[in-house]
Amino acid sequence: MAHDDGNIYWYDPDPRAIIPLDGFHVPRRLARTVRTGGFDVRLNYNFRAVMEACAEPAADRDGTWISPEMIDIYTLLHQLGFAHSVETWYEDKLVGGLYGVAIRGLFAGESMFSHMTDASKVALVHLIEQLRQGGFVLLDTQFLTEHLVRFGAIEIPQTEYKERLAQALKVETSFR
């Protein structure tokens, strides 16, 4: 994560938050929105725009950990096939999405944004389906938030996380 001092730091929280793919919960109203909400969901269509939207100021936080350098680095990871975005579009306008890094059976979700009600949630539902279909076994969200708890996110001790990570790195997957 980038800091105000211009440096980029590595975080390894203990406990660590994950969303168990087999424990993902979609609230009934959101399931209806996914089916009928009129969103066009795209994978990797405009990765950089998703990162830039995630970095925009928001009412619920003072700053952002996503610096211009981080955007450049993750865009390079995207070009190399490691970083991916799930995007929600409405009337041909990017209104929500998320991005993260895929390494074998691990998907590390990095950030999400929404400019329209439920747009990021719809992206999350589609991410989970993509991960399940691709054979992923670990969705790392780093930190637990109230938003993610609604979908089944849990915290696990660092030692358990590292065991799950070691297993995930043995799994061949694909992210379309």
Q: Is it the case that residue 126 has pLDDT exceeding 90?
A: yes
Q: How far, in Å, CA of 134 to CA of 141, rounded?
A: 18
Helices (H) and strands (E) in the chain — how many of each? 6, 7
Summary mean pLDDT of the chain: 92
CATH code at 16-168: 3.40.630.70
Percent of the chain with pLDDT over 70: 91
Mean pLDDT of 148-176: 96
pLDDT digits (tens, 9 = 90+) for 41-83: 999 999 999 999 999 987 665 667 788 999 999 999 999 999 9
For position 9, what pLDDT does the model report? 66
Please tell me what DSSP assigns to residue 16: E
Q: How far, in Å, CA of 32 to CA of 76, rounded?
A: 36
State the Rg of the chain over Cα.
16
Q: How is the chain split into domains, by residue range? A: 16-168
For position 58, what pLDDT does the model report? 72
The owner of tokens 């938050």 is: 17
C-alpha closest to that of 134 among 91, 92, 100: 100
CB-CB contact of 18 with 139 (8 Å): yes
Q: How far, in Å, CA of 107 to CA of 100, rounded?
A: 7
Confidence of residue 2 (pLDDT cuts 50, 70, 90): low
